[in-house]
Structure 1
Amino acid sequence: MVRKSEKKWIFPFTRVQAVCAVSGFVFYIAMKLVFGSGGRELSEGAGLKRAGPGQGESTYDVLVSGLDKDNEDKRVPVKIPVRERKYSEEEARELFQKIQPELTEQMLGENESLEDVRGNLNLKGSLGEYGLRIIWESENPQVIDAFGIVHNEDIPEEGKSVWLRARVTDGSYERQFEFKVTVYPASLTREQRAADDFVRWIGQIDLKQQTEDRLSLPPVYMGERLTYFQPEETDYRILPVLGILLAALLPLKGEFDRKNQARVRERQLLFDYSEVVSKLVVYMGAGLTVRGAWERITAGYKDGVKQGKRSVRPAYEEMVKTAAQLGSGLSEGKAYSEFGRRCGVQVYIKLSALLEQSQKNGSRQLRPALELEMVSAFEQRKNLAKKLGEEAGTKLLLPLLMMLGVVMVMIVVPAFLSFY
């Protein structure tokens, strides 16, 4: 006989898993053989590659032998910083000639050309792909500022020319470009132009009434009578859509409520089953008949509900209906069968079948069968309680995750803000 302490646990290990594990070791040994345990040796003249212009400094981890005079073969780890590459004078000259058309095209923004500018320009502060910085200057910041914002509210119809200068540099070499920009008034529809004229006119009236508590709106403008309205603060057009949506979802809600009520009722029936069976066993063990035990249970339930000691339970309500049927002259077998059908749960159908069978074959074997059913019912109730506890724990996961998110925000946001 093998003792428990001598048992060996054998974990299943498939062929694919074995191949994966062995492959990992094979690749490890191969890399060690190729590159060695101390890393790949740099060939003479290979050097360390610089980052491109504008990409910043690079740092390399290198093992250097020969630094330790006592042990020349010892490899000392060193971090070597390598500055970014700079353009040569010829490269910078060619690059400045190349970027001028690109710079002209990108600064247009949504405008068609620099001879017809009606919207804001796109004046970038750098050309990242080339590692170049750009400093913009405007001859007339009141019309176009250094950020490319166009102020064309008071520009005449014939337009106004402004010179923009761009100083482009890579840190060592610099080139200046000049662009002539002609600014025109913004393209407005007839309605927008009329509104702008009206706003300017009413602005003059506002200056005259500045000492008054409120601005008196003029009733007439250019010979036309005016009527003023305040726009609706809330758009109510969504309400009909919501009404139709609710009407469509109402049947679904009713069906959901019915299913939820049926689920709650079934759960209550399962909870009460062990109690019903145990009471039948106790009363029948005291010498009462099945009908007498049934009527005693229903009477105790009705008294408890009347006195407020018990809540309404579906299993006992169905038993009360069955007791009323028995009182009205319905046969016991038929009444018990109807009880199981109304409950609609498998364990109650089984109980009603046992009671109905006892009416046909006698009640000699009924009490032992009910005792076995009682043991099974208590086991089912214990499993149901365990299941409900697990469901409650699962429902708590969402609040816990929300609290975790709040904690993460409280920790991460100050950490990010400390970098600025």
Structure 2
Amino acid sequence: MDKKKNLKIVVACIAFLLLAFAMDKSSNNVADNTLMRNKTGDGDESVDLILNADGLDKNYKYQLDVKEAIPSEKQANELFEKAKEQIDKTFCEDDQTLEHVMGHVNMNDSYVSGSVEAEWNLSDYDIVDYEGNVLQEAFTGDEDETSGKLITASVSLSCGEYKQMYEFSFLVFPDKLDSGQRLIRDINRQLQKEMEQPGTKELVLPNEIDGKKLNWSKEKSSSVMKVALLEAVVIVLLFLSRKEKERNAIKDRNTKLQLEYPEIVSKMAVLMGSGMTVEQAWNRITARYSDERRKNKAYILPAYEEMLITEREISDGEMGRKAYAGFAERINIPCYQKFVRIILQSIHKGSKGVCEALEKESEEAFDERRLLALRMGEEAGTKMLVPMMLMMVIVIAIVIAPAIIDFKM
């Protein structure tokens, strides 16, 4: 049985090897001397070619930066129309219309999978801020609740060298309040008017609001305040303890990221050195990690998890340059930022010299990991001193206690 099983494995390996060889051979050929350009918004691509011509005694390496497809005016107009449709569908929250907007509006930076970039401008940012949040303090009168406030939105759409403006208006209303919140709001308004009166030394509290009688009294001070103060101190201590745990968690995560970094850089250097693009090498690493996770052969590694997020962003239509920059921003460690700069250099200027830079970075990273391991060992030894000292005190107490008791007797 073992021989048959081993034979099947060998046959499967040979079959995969032949398939990989065939795919590699077919992928190296340029059919009809034609290269496919990336779609608008997907970014440029660097392609390594081998040039052979009649009369030449050897092949020449030729690196070509293939620009993304530039849309025609007709294609740009079609993309603009699709972008306008997406704006109309996504601008308002669910169950809201332009005639009645509350809470928040969505103003995206791009549409149609990044093919169309959008720059927003609102007529009144005192009512809706730059993030699209409706500012409740902008509504001061009852008429605002019934008629709302009219805002004009201007969106500058750009696709390649073509631009187009899209304008529309929408009515903004304040959030709905229950009876208690409405009462507090009306009291605040009346008190604000009272305090704005010049020359008044006394503040008269209202006796009635909207037909509702109001009774006022000062809160009595008692031992409840002391208990509340003690509870506040406990809450602060718990908060500080939680913050300390969060800091330790962040520190542990950063340590894991630094330990994983040399391996990631080394893998990228090897894969890109074999002729893969940045995206292909990235996907190969994440695919292997995902396979090991499914088979429970690897623990959860934060750096590889962030790489998986970046891969999903790119597959969902995010531009590669923006996705890799987001990867470095989420991790926020200098070595990863340097790694991403090398990758972006490969995307912008081609892969020339990138493999050498990655190999150099890998060597430096392994040296840094050795130093980090030494520091971690020293810290672990220092942390062990406290429990060892406590154990020594307990042992001394156990040894001395009987002698002290016998001496007193």
Q: Which structure's CA Rg is the greater one?
A: 1
TM-score norm. by structure 2 comes to: 0.47
The structure with higher relative contact order (CA 8 Å, sep 6+) is: 2
The normalised TM-score by structure 1 is: 0.46
More helix by share: 2
